[in-house]
């Protein structure tokens, strides 16, 4: 997880949820990053044999999005989940 966070920050310059776009509050400093978790894009239950997780196999999600995405009967792709939680135009 640390390596994924570090890579994410190096590429974008900041940390944010890849689903909802939440960014840690700067007032909370490092504690604000505690609400971010690594999400396996391919469920571990679907992998057989030796499992090697690469950084590109992970997404950074806030704890809310990570819990919600796992509540679906069938795990959606990150793109499908992102579209499902996007605010609808008024």
**Confidence band, pLDDT 50/70/90 cuts, at residue 2:** confident
The reported pTM is: 0.85
Could you read off the pLDDT of 7-48 as tens digits, one per residue? Answer: 988 998 888 999 999 998 888 877 888 889 999 998 888 878
Structural contact between residues 81 and 39, judged by C-beta atoms closer than 8 angstroms: no
The pair of structure tokens assigned to 18 is 């890849």
86 close to 67: Cβ distance less than 8 angstroms: no
């Amino acid at each position: 997880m640390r390596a994924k966070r570090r890579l994410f920050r190096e590429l974008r310059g900041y940390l944010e949820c890849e689903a909802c776009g939440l960014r840690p509050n700067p007032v909370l400093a490092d504690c604000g990053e505690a609400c971010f978790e690594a999400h396996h894009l391919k469920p571990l239950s679907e992998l057989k044999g030796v499992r090697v997780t690469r950084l590109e196999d992970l997404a950074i999600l806030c704890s809310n999005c990570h819990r919600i995405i796992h509540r679906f009967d069938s795990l959606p792709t990150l793109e499908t989940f992102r579209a499902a939680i996007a605010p609808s135009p008024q």
